[in-house]
């Protein structure tokens, strides 16, 4: 079944370029990635799930017109449809791709409201320092493995130990910070604010470039309750 043809128009060409960059990063981790799109008013929220991190990634872009729809599509097809070379003030998107039956996570989105900011989260520069130290530790421990133990299972055990550690004085696992940097949400040179928000058992690492959401420390997304809200 196809969705009705819709033509999106972004608030400016940079919005389309930023969305294209986000989709490209998702596809790096999963060439068959799907994204759930929720448009409301003049904004489009794009939800993806990079499998390496077991989190939800959310990128919001501004539109120049009002839209109202909720659909799941192929990330690759959406990327191909994006016009990032427009020379006028707004770059457009052609017809949205054909809708797909999304994987289970597409029915599992964070709640719409009720978020409260929490204290104890380090600033972006410190977060990147902690992350760099963790990557260095992983490489060091991996290199120290004897040849007979240099397996995917052993490396996964090392990764689980490192990335499940919490950050600062919060319950946010380090893998959420790793996901934020890998997807282009964490940019220390810009000196922008980052925040940790919670509602119920959900946590959200928010930056001006996007959010990483997950439920519970180390809980992944396997047992999430189904909601249809936006972030």
pLDDT in tens, 168-197: 999 999 999 999 999 999 987 656 889 999
* pLDDT at residue number 135: 95
- Tell me the pLDDT of the chain averaged across its residues: 86
Element (H, E) at 63: strand 56-74
What distance in Å separates the CA atoms of residue 201 and residue 206, rounded to the nearest whole number?
Answer: 16
Quick: pLDDT tens for 106-117: 998 999 899 999
Looking at residues 64-81, what average pLDDT do you find?
A: 92
Residue 66 CB burial class (10 angstroms; 0-12, 13-18, ≥19): exposed
Residue whose token pair is 């972004």: 10
Q: Give domain limits for the chain.
A: 7-107, 116-215
* pLDDT at residue number 91: 54
CA dist 63 → 7, 66, 89, 92 (Å): 11, 7, 12, 10
Six token digits for residue 207: 């930056």
Determine what percent of the chain is predicted with pLDDT higher than 70. 85
Higher pLDDT, 91 or 12: 12
* pLDDT at residue number 188: 72
pLDDT band at 64 (very low <50, low <70, confident <90, very high): confident
2-11, 61-70, 133-142, range with greatest mean pLDDT: 133-142
CB 23 within 8 A of CB 31: no
- Angle formed at CA 107 by CA 106 and CA 112, multiple of 5 degrees: 100
When mean pLDDT is compared across 87-101, 105-119, 126-140, the lowest value belongs to 87-101
CA pseudo-torsion sign 77, 39, 185, 85 = positive
Residue whose token pair is 């919060």: 170
CB 19 within 8 A of CB 59: yes
What is the CATH class of 7-107? alpha beta
25-34, 59-68, 100-109, 213-222, range with greatest mean pLDDT: 25-34
CB 40 within 8 A of CB 198: no
CB 7 within 8 A of CB 94: yes
Looking at residues 87-99, what average pLDDT do you find?
A: 67
* pLDDT at residue number 216: 74
Looking at residues 83-106, what average pLDDT do you find?
A: 75
What distance in Å separates the CA atoms of residue 181 and residue 189, rounded to the nearest whole number?
Answer: 12
* pLDDT at residue number 109: 93
Q: How many CA atoms lie within 13 A of 68 on its CB side?
A: 1
Determine what percent of the chain is predicted with pLDDT higher than 90. 66
What distance in Å separates the CA atoms of residue 161 and residue 55, rounded to the nearest whole number?
Answer: 17
Higher pLDDT, 221 or 84: 84
* pLDDT at residue number 92: 64
What distance in Å separates the CA atoms of residue 77 and residue 97, rounded to the nearest whole number?
Answer: 6
Report the candidate in 169, 171, 178 with the shortest Cα–Cα distance to residue 138.
178
* pLDDT at residue number 219: 41
pLDDT band at 228 (very low <50, low <70, confident <90, very high): very low
């Amino acid at each position: 079944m196809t969705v009705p043809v819709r033509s999106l128009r972004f608030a400016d060409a940079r919005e389309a370029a930023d969305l294209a960059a986000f989709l490209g990063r998702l596809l790096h981790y999963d060439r068959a990635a799907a994204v759930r799109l929720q448009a409301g008013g003049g904004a489009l929220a794009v939800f993806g799930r990079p499998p390496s991190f077991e989190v939800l990634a959310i990128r919001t872009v501004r539109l120049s017109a009002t839209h109202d729809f909720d659909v799941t599509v192929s990330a690759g097809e959406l990327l191909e449809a994006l016009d990032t070379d427009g020379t006028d003030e707004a770059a457009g998107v052609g017809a949205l791709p054909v809708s797909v039956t999304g994987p289970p996570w597409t029915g599992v989105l964070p709640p719409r409201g009720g978020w409260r900011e929490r204290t104890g989260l380090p600033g972006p520069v410190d977060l990147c320092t902690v992350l760099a130290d963790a990557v260095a530790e992983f490489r060091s421990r991996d290199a120290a493995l004897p040849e007979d133990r240099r397996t995917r299972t052993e490396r996964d055990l090392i990764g689980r130990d490192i990335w499940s550690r919490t950050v600062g004085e919060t319950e946010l696992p380090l893998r959420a910070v790793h996901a934020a940097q890998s997807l282009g949400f964490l940019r220390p040179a810009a000196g922008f604010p980052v925040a940790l928000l919670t509602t119920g058992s959900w946590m959200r690492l928010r930056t001006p470039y996007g959010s990483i959401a997950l439920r519970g420390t180390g809980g992944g997304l396997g047992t999430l309750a189904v909601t249809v809200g936006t972030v």
